[in-house]
Amino acid sequence: MSRLPQIIEQIEAIVKPMFENTEIQLVELNVKFRQRVVWIQLLIDKPFGGITMDECTRFNKMLVRGIEDQKVLTEDYEIEVSSPGLDRPLKTKSDFARATNKAIRVLLKEAFLDKWEYSGVMKKLQEDNLIIECDNSELSIPLEKIMKATHIV
């Protein structure tokens, strides 16, 4: 288990170049031990969503090829490549950009205009403010005030 930081570093070195010259983005990389198996999860998406199973399969094969070619792992390993899913919280500016024109719910750390929660259509990210349309008007919420944001399914 003490090898985990080294494994993460080696996996990152394989993964990062996989996204060069492609519209597909790495949303999140998770690497951890599950018992004696190294579990690698890639969450991938396009700037405005819509990743396909074929694209997930292609990135899975590229990662396997990189791991095998570079002999990174002596342990058994599992790879999961998928889209972030609608239930994943929106955390980064890229997450919010992919949510453009989609319904979202925002919970705040403190009241903003006398409310702790807003739901509406994500219009755009403007510098460090989230612009959502709710109650027939546009509202600009500072990102620093957001505790949690999710898609409304």
pLDDT by residue (tens digit) across 63-116?
Answer: 999 999 999 888 899 999 998 887 788 888 888 888 888 899 999 999 988 899
Radius of gyration of the CA atoms of the chain, in A: 18
CATH of domain 93-151: 2.30.30.100
Q: What is the pLDDT of residue 3?
A: 84
Rounded Cα distance between 86 and 125, Å, is 19
Residue 54: pLDDT over 60: yes
Rounded Cα distance between 90 and 105, Å, is 10
Q: What is the pLDDT of residue 61?
A: 96
CATH 3.30.300.70 fits 4-82, yes or no: yes
The DSSP 8-state label assigned to residue 70 in this structure reads H
Residue ranges, comma separated, of all CATH 2.30.30.100 domains in the chain are 93-151
- Average pLDDT of the chain is 90
Which CA distances in Å does 114 have to 39, 117, 125?
A: 44, 9, 22
Q: What is the pLDDT of residue 97?
A: 84
The DSSP 8-state label assigned to residue 9 in this structure reads H
Residue ranges, comma separated, of all CATH 3.30.300.70 domains in the chain are 4-82
Q: What is the pLDDT of residue 11?
A: 95
